[in-house]
Structure 1
Amino acid sequence: MTNAAHPFDALMDITARPEVVFVRGAGSYLWDANRNRYLDFVQGWAVNPLGHSPVIVADALAAQARRLLTPSPAFYNEQSLKLAKALVDNSCFDQVFFANSGAEANEGAIKLARKFGAKYKNGAHEIITFEGGFHGRTLATMSASGKRAFEPLFEPKVSGFRKARLNDIVSVRQLINSSTVAVMLEQIQGEAGVWPASDAFLQELRALTQQRGLLLIVDEIQTGMGRTGKLFGYEHAGIEPDIMTLGKGIGGGVPLAALLATEHASCFDHGDQGGTFNGNPLMCAAGLVVLDQISQPDFLKSVVDTGLLLERELQRLSARHGLGEIRGRGLLLALDLKMPIGAAVVAEAFAAGVLVNSPQPDTLRFMPALNVTREEISLMIDCLDTVLTKVGAARRVA
């Protein structure tokens, strides 16, 4: 038996991590074991809409933990019933299945679509997804994703996913055949570099899927829960999908996800879907207080206003350094660096105490808490200004 020689060695090495251990978080800030403070514009990849360790989430978890952790999903519990009703009341959907991660919710959406095809469309099972899309890391959701890095991994993949091009309705139409049951997409492709589907494209897609009798599945793992300035991203286009998945922000920092469907699309039979911890009252208690706060009109308006401020500041930064466009919506934005310097910028910003993300070598992605302040935006911009000046000077010297 070999024991880990270093405290980090006991964790499986699945990604590069800086040798810093975070021990505390509050709002837009994290602190490491050496009491260094970091301004966080990643927030666990949009997981913390109310910032780190919000009091209302901590209080809800503590109160529920004293009452009931889980009775098993074989029984109803009060918190899951309340959260499901609140989600239905705030959306165009009729039923909810709770899960523990976005990938699990998307896996459920794929299963639901295939069940729909088996019951109502002569066994149709293919789902049209999109180049650049990202839907998770289970075998089925990796297969559904259009991420090139996934292509050689874990073969053989799950079959039945055909890839169209985002904002190209002709490419979707050309892939539809008698085996097609659904179209599935992110309204903003986050991992690909924050590439939005246009409202016009989403409207065309909804019309096409209705015309051909197909289900429309929106993956709102990253765009849902107020991230774009509306509670759900599909609202911007004025459409009503058949299925939606939520994750990340719905739990306010704890593992919670949801699969929502219209009555038309809800066709699971008993035993088709389940999960040991799904819909447990502890996580749903957190989801309830998060949804209650985020769904307030004043809160959503503040996301719009703050997003516009961040966008303007990034545009000024881009103009100053000769960079590219700003993409995204609300508080899910990207800066096109026009050069593959993302990793260097992230590393320099980290050393300066600011956390940003580079999903692609030439892109920075910003996913701050939805209640991020103007002062915090200013501090982040000032840091990036310094970092970009330094990185740009280093490139000129090289």
Structure 2
Amino acid sequence: MSSIFPTYARWDVTVQKADGAILVDTNDKEYLDFTSGIGVCNLGHNHPTVKEKVIEQLDQVWHVSNLFHIPTQEQAAMMLTEHTCGDYVFFCNSGAEGNEGAIKLARKYTGKWKIISFKQSFHGRTFGSMSATGQDKIHEGYGPLLPSFEYATFNDIDSVKSLVDDQVAAVMIEVIQGEGGVHPADPVFMEALEQLCQENGILLIVDEVQTGIGRTGKAFAYEHYNISPDIIVSAKGLGNGFPIGAVIGKEKLKEAFGPGSHGSTYGGNPLATAAASAVMSEVFRPEFLKQVEENGHYFMKLLTEKLTSSFVKEIKGKGLMIGIECTGEVGPLLTQMREEGFLALSAGPNVIRLLPPLTVTKDQLEKAAAILADVL
């Protein structure tokens, strides 16, 4: 009898230890983990560099609040601004909190109140980020949502234009929709979207909660497109399992987030930012990102060659964020894969979502492709 609300459809697996891309359950069964904690453990489980830095910080100070200067916070913020087009950072605890912060910042800076997001998007489960999410299944049962969000069609610039008026503060987008089915944005659409925003005094918010921190072979996925967002939201892989989120904004936005305008008790605490700095010191190395890109191409080629079943409709994605769209529901297949010692996710009812650690080996990619081919 559990005392936990049944908000999760849990698998029949209890993990007792983990290392790299391998999980071991309480029955000593090993699993090849291509979920990475839902795109969180980008450096794999129990990464030595991250572990060392967190323990080092743990021995010094855990928490002091943002009334104090926090050196690890300054270091992490500098690393984020050095590897993005942003200039300032606000730290929080999750992707949903990051998107809430981005929404507040956009509305505060522009003085406008509408946000355009996209059908099949996912931005979180707080009330604001849930309202920004363009999926009915996320909204069901909660009554009226916040009235300030309207949903355009992904990759359709005319649908965005039809929603633009003088009260639109920002357009909020994932350049690869994750939870909604692993749909990459079209480069022509992204350039047109940025131009539309600039022409109408609208901020461009890119939600990089799942796509950031090396997942696609770039530090952030927007770098695949010829754009320069006003606000970027990061989380998931930023702490490699330690809760942290970040809102990264351009210089012009600084005055909108002055003292008292926003806050977070735990946001940017010494442990979280020590973890984030350790993660970025590994992931943002050019040779590391190149390896992610190469492994992504290699894995895509393997999957294209091996997944010849008529059940497979399309294989898509960037880097090590891959979706296998199928002609039917994939839930039973995911169960069968777990029985075979392989862990994957869904992205909607018909898409198998693969998010292996960025440190995955070619042998592990080959093993994964073989299991997927066998099950499919």
Query: Which residue of 2 is the match for residue 150 of structure 1?
Result: 138
C-alpha distance in 2 between matches for 1:23 and 1:238: 44
Structure 2 SS opposite 1:79: helix
2:96 to 93, 98, 103: 103
Query: Which residue of 1 is the match for residue 227 of structure 2?
Result: 239
**Matched letter for residue 307 of structure 1:** G
Query: Which residue of 1 is the match for residue 245 of structure 2?
Result: 257
C-alpha distance in 2 between matches for 1:369 and 1:195: 20
Query: Which residue of 2 is the match for residue 395 of structure 1?
Result: none
**Matched letter for residue 360 of structure 2:** V
Q: Is the 1:315–1:325 Cα contact (8 Å) retained in structure 2?
A: no
C-alpha distance in 2 between matches for 1:85 and 1:20: 39
2:30 to 27, 37, 52: 37
| 1:298-317 matched pairs, under 5 angstroms | 298-317=287-306
Instruction: Give CA-to-partner distance per residue, 1:371-397, whole Å, 9 cap, x none.
Output: 111111111111122212xxxxxxxxx
Instruction: Give CA-to-partner distance per residue, 1:182-221, whole Å, 9 cap, x none.
Output: 1000001111110111122111111110111110000000
Task: Tell me the CA shift for residue 117 of structure 1.
Answer: 2.3
**Matched letter for residue 78 of structure 2:** K
Query: Which residue of 2 is the match for residue 79 of structure 1?
Result: 72
Query: Which residue of 2 is the match for residue 66 of structure 1?
Result: 59
Task: Tell me the CA shift for residue 144 of structure 1.
Answer: 0.4
Instruction: Tell me whether 1:288 sits opposite 2:288 in the alignment.
Output: no
Task: Tell me the CA shift for residue 74 of structure 1.
Answer: 1.3
Structure 2 SS opposite 1:282: helix
Task: Tell me the CA shift for residue 72 of structure 1.
Answer: 0.7
CA RMSD, Structure 1 to Structure 2 (Å): 1.1
**Matched letter for residue 287 of structure 1:** A
Structure 1 SS opposite 2:288: helix
Query: Which residue of 1 is the match for residue 43 of structure 2?
Result: 50
Structure 1 SS opposite 2:307: helix
Task: Tell me the CA shift for residue 237 of structure 1.
Answer: 0.9
**Matched letter for residue 330 of structure 1:** G
**Matched letter for residue 364 of structure 1:** I
Deviating beyond 6 angstroms after TM superposition, the runs of 4 or more aligned structure 1 residues are: none
C-alpha distance in 2 between matches for 1:354 and 1:150: 27
Instruction: Tell me whether 1:228 sits opposite 2:221 in the alignment.
Output: no
Task: Tell me the CA shift for residue 302 of structure 1.
Answer: 0.4
Task: Tell me the CA shift for residue 54 of structure 1.
Answer: 0.4
Instruction: Give CA-to-partner distance per residue, 1:22-71, whole Å, 9 cap, x none.
Output: 11110001111111111000111110111011011111110000011111
Task: Tell me the CA shift for residue 229 of structure 1.
Answer: 0.7
C-alpha distance in 1 between matches for 2:198 and 2:42: 33
Task: Tell me the CA shift for residue 321 of structure 1.
Answer: 4.6
Q: Is the 1:318–1:325 Cα contact (8 Å) retained in structure 2?
A: no
C-alpha distance in 2 between matches for 1:173 and 1:343: 37
Task: Tell me the CA shift for residue 245 of structure 1.
Answer: 0.1
Query: Which residue of 2 is the match for residue 199 of structure 1?
Result: 187
Structure 2 SS opposite 1:264: helix
C-alpha distance in 1 between matches for 2:79 and 2:311: 46
Task: Tell me the CA shift for residue 238 of structure 1.
Answer: 2.2
Q: Is the 1:224–1:249 Cα contact (8 Å) retained in structure 2?
A: yes
Instruction: Give CA-to-partner distance per residue, 1:103-139, whole Å, 9 cap, x none.
Output: 0000000011111122xxxxx1101100010000000
C-alpha distance in 1 between matches for 2:310 and 2:160: 38
Larger Cα-atom Rg: 1
Task: Tell me the CA shift for residue 77 of structure 1.
Answer: 0.6
Structure 2 SS opposite 1:325: strand
**Matched letter for residue 280 of structure 2:** L
Please report the TM-score for the alignment, with normalisation by the length of structure 1: 0.92
Structure 1 SS opposite 2:197: helix
Q: Is the 2:313–2:325 Cα contact (8 Å) retained in structure 1?
A: yes
Instruction: Tell me whether 1:273 sits opposite 2:262 in the alignment.
Output: yes
Name structure 2 gaps, 5 residues minimum. Answer: none
C-alpha distance in 2 between matches for 1:386 and 1:319: 10
Query: Which residue of 2 is the match for residue 380 of structure 1?
Result: 368
**Matched letter for residue 384 of structure 1:** L
Name structure 1 gaps, 5 residues minimum. Answer: 1-5, 119-123, 389-398
